Amino acid sequence: MAELSADTGVPVPTIKYYLREGLLPPGRPVGRNQADYGPAHVRRLKLVRALAEYGGLSIAAIGELVRHLDDPEVSGNNLLGLGQLTVTARQEPQPGPHVERARRVLDELCARRGWKDMREHPSYAALVGVLASLEDLGREDMLGALPDYAEAAERIAEADMRVVGDLDDRERALEVVVLGTLVGDTLLTGLRRLAQANVALRVYGGD
């Protein structure tokens, strides 16, 4: 275990904790109170640490993901979906006069884009709330730009899937989706801000 700690930079007490919680499979017994840990343990430990330290996931959430990861009945595509859902908070829209219309607008957009069965996705509820708020504020201009936003989002999602790559490498795919979703959101926000500044200069001029 000391070698595993040295290889990964994870303290021994933390490794023991991950073992107790089932996040890391037991090593191969080689003697009394001793076990051998191989490359698979190193990789799994790095994944768990990344999900906990950089992904900000709870031990319970990581445990659920690990169980799905080790379940051969969970296909690669379903594993990606489960990973994304784990890091996507569900926020129900506040009651208001525009909620139902916002839901219809989003349903129509999803239908036009060919995005099926989106109502159960946690982001759907949040989007309904955002659209309802925009209508409440009279921002029809932003609602009118929704198809353009959706087209851009789909192009980004296609780039995301190219980064994910081969689904046979399940641990890598899960890491890319979970960390890519969390870090990728920050990345995209920063790029959007830079692009807004550039376009504003081009359209309106100024320094």
Q: Are residues 177 and 154 in the same domain?
A: no
Mean pLDDT value across residues 91-106: 90
Give the domain extent around 42.
1-87+166-207
- Predicted TM-score (pTM) of the model is 0.74
Q: Are residues 153 and 121 in the same domain?
A: yes
pLDDT digits (tens, 9 = 90+) for 142-171: 999 999 999 999 999 898 888 888 888 888
pLDDT of residue 167: 83
Amino acid at residue number 135? E
pLDDT of residue 207: 67
Q: Are residues 127 and 148 in the same domain?
A: yes
Q: Are residues 102 and 154 in the same domain?
A: yes
Q: Are residues 23 and 12 in the same domain?
A: yes
Q: Are residues 100 and 159 in the same domain?
A: yes
Contact (CB, 8 A) for 167 and 76: yes
Q: Are residues 114 and 177 in the same domain?
A: no
pLDDT of residue 57: 83
Q: Are residues 157 and 200 in the same domain?
A: no
Count up the domains in the chain and report the number: 2
Q: Are residues 70 and 17 in the same domain?
A: yes
- When mean pLDDT is compared over 54-63, 102-111, 185-194, the highest value belongs to 102-111
pLDDT of residue 93: 85
Q: Are residues 129 and 76 in the same domain?
A: no
Give CA–CA dist 145/202, Å, rounded.
Answer: 19
Residue 54 belongs to a domain with what CATH number? Answer: 1.10.1660.10
Q: Are residues 170 and 195 in the same domain?
A: yes
Give CA–CA dist 94/128, Å, rounded.
Answer: 9
3-state SS of the chain is CHHHHHHHCCCHHHHHHHHHCCCCCCCEEEECCEEECCHHHHHHHHHHHHHHHHCCCCHHHHHHHHHHHHCCCCCHHHHHHHHHHHCCCCCCCCCCCCHHHHHHHHHHHHHHHCCCCCCCCHHHHHHHHHHHHHHHCCCHHHHHCHHHHHHHHHHHHHHHHHHHCCCCCHHHHHHHHHHHHHHHHHHHHHHHHHHHHHHHHHHHCCC
Mean pLDDT value across residues 61-85: 87
pLDDT digits (tens, 9 = 90+) for 119-147: 989 899 999 999 999 999 999 899 999 99
Q: Are residues 79 and 142 in the same domain?
A: no
Amino acid at residue number 146? L
